[in-house]
Each structure stands twice: as C-alpha cells, then as structure tokens.
C-alpha cells in the first residue's frame, strides 16, 4: 500500500485508523474523506469532503491522489440503521457499490469491514464458526451480509483484491459513541470515571464479542499486508478478543474503582439487536490464514481505558 484513501475517516474506526496509517505509511500518502470538515489532528494531512453515495466524487478524489488502496468505512451503524432503514441501505450499500466500482475501474486494493451484526438469531451463539448460517433480522445486518457477498463477487468476477474482517463491538476512548449496539462498553468507562455509576441499556447476562481499538487497527493493516495467496476467505474474517456482558465490565472496573455501581435501564431496540448476535466467535481461520492475534483482554483494556478517559476528561 502506497497511497490510501479512507472513507468515513471521522467515524469511530476511521478517526483512529487515519492516524495509524499516516504514522505507518507517511502523512501525505493517506487521504481522509468524510461528509463534513475535518478538525484537529485530522487536518494534519490530505482531507477531502466526499459523499460516498456520489460515485463521481469518489472517482475524482481517487484519481486526484493516484490512490492504490481504498479503505471503505463510511456507514450508518446498527442502532441508527434500525431508526432510518432506508437511509442505511442508501449509505451502506450504495456507498459500498460506488467504492467497489472505483476499485474495479482503477485496479485498487480494497478493504471494507463487516460485523458480528451479519449474524442472526439462528446463527450458533457460542464460538460462532467462520462459515455458518447468516440470517440477520436488522437492516444493518442485512447490509453487512450483502456487503460480504458483494466484496466476494467483485473479487471473483472482476479480480478486485477485496479483503475484510467481521468486527466485534469496538471499544475506544478517542471517538464518541456513534450509534452502535455495543457502545455501552465505551460509555461505561466515561460514566465510571465521572460518576462512579452507569445505567446500562443492555441487560445483565447479555454477552457480546468486543475488541479494543488498537487490536482492530493492527488487524486491518496486518490483513492488507498479508500474502494474498494464503487468503482462502479474503472477506469477512471472524476476529475476536473479548466475550463479555455488562457485569464483566463492572467487575473489571471495580478492580480500579471499587465503589463503581452498575444498574440497568434496558433499551428494547438495542437489546433485541444484541440478542440476535453471537456470545462469542471463532477467529481461528483468521489466525491460520494471516496470523491474527489480539493483544488485549478485558483487564488490560480496562486499565488503559480508565487511564486514557481520565486524561481526556481532565483536558476538557
């Protein structure tokens, strides 16, 4: 990868991936795009306002910077997609098709993430295999399954070098929560630091797969730099780090804030989404084909999250 275009660069993943890529490949070689102006550190390198539903804009920017790799992250997340399903389809699928077309026309490498949202109520819940039944009952999940198949299609039909992972819930102190079902696992650290208490919108005992953002960013780069000859699956690799319910975060936080209290105020929309997702997923295929390995467990992540959140709040 020499010239990389990142769509959705101001979102949860993009806001951190942009910096990581610029550190790795050089500031001028990574072009961020989003539908709004960049602020702060995102202004440290090339940035363009691009609406991914506008194919012409995408094509113009890719040509302007002589791009060789697209990392397509622009999307409406799970909870918001249930509120605005038609908008979600237009952004998540329309934007993906446009980005894939640019990759096809300009012969670019291509990454786009899928999600544990691609699974559904009939998917095996525990240690969910790489290849399994996928019948999601959310618009976000439908988008993700269609996106996995579309990326496979562009590889087999047109030879586009498409690659992707199924992300679990991602936890970070950098970007604010953006409408995802697993965002409680970000909010809980802020509320623990500020109030020593948190009301979880996800119910007790609801396990979901999670991952700390540094592991997610490393996985993207590792997959994109891996030998294509070893990639049998290419797109939608299961990757996993932490399987946890709200009370597991409570226990981990109490090791640092002993009087932290967790209570519940369940949101039925997000709870229903969570109930349709796996408790844990099997990432052995990703480990075998390109060496994936997570570095953070819940305790190591919690220690770092609390430290970073406290530092962030002090500066505000």
Identify which of 140, 150, 134, 51 has the alpha carbon closest to the alpha carbon of residue 89.
140
The token pair at 265 is: 């105020």
Instruction: Provide the phi-psi class of 8: left if phi over 0, else alpha when psi is between -120 and 50, else beta.
Output: left
The dihedrals phi and psi of 238, each to the nearest 5 degrees, come to: -60, 130
Distance CA 286, CA 128 (A): 13
List residues with catalytic annotation: 140
């Amino acid at each position: 990868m020499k010239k990389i275009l990142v769509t959705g660069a101001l979102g949860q993943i993009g806001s951190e991936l942009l910096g990581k890529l610029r550190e790795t490949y050089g500031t001028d070689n990574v072009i961020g795009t989003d539908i709004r102006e960049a602020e702060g550190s995102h202004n440290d390198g090339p940035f363009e306002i691009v609406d991914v539903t506008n194919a012409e804009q995408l094509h113009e920017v890719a040509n302007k910077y002589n791009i060789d790799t697209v990392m397509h992250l622009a999307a409406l997340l799970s909870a918001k997609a249930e509120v605005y399903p038609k908008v979600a389809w237009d952004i998540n699928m329309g934007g993906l098709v446009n980005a894939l077309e640019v990759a096809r026309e300009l012969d670019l490498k291509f990454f786009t993430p899928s999600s544990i949202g691609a699974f559904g109520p009939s998917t095996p819940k525990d240690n969910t295999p790489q290849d399994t039944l996928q019948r999601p009952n959310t618009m976000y999940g439908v988008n993700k399954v269609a996106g996995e198949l579309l990326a496979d299609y562009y590889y087999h039909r047109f030879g586009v070098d498409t690659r992707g992972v199924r992300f679990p819930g991602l936890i970070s102190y950098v970007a604010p929560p953006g409408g995802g079902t697993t965002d409680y696992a970000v909010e809980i650290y802020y509320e623990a630091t500020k109030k020593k208490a948190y009301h979880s919108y996800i119910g007790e005992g609801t396990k979901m797969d999670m991952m700390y953002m540094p592991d997610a960013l490393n996985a993207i780069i590792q997959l994109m730099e891996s030998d294509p000859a070893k990639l049998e699956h290419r797109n939608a690799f299961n990757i996993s780090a932490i399987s946890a319910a709200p009370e597991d975060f409570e226990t981990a936080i109490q090791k640092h804030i002993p009087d932290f209290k967790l209570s519940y105020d369940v949101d039925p929309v997000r709870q229903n989404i969570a109930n349709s997702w796996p408790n844990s997923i099997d990432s052995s295929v990703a480990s075998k084909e390109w060496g994936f390995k997570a570095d953070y467990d819940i305790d190591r992540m919690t220690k770092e999250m609390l430290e970073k959140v406290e530092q962030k709040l002090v500066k505000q």
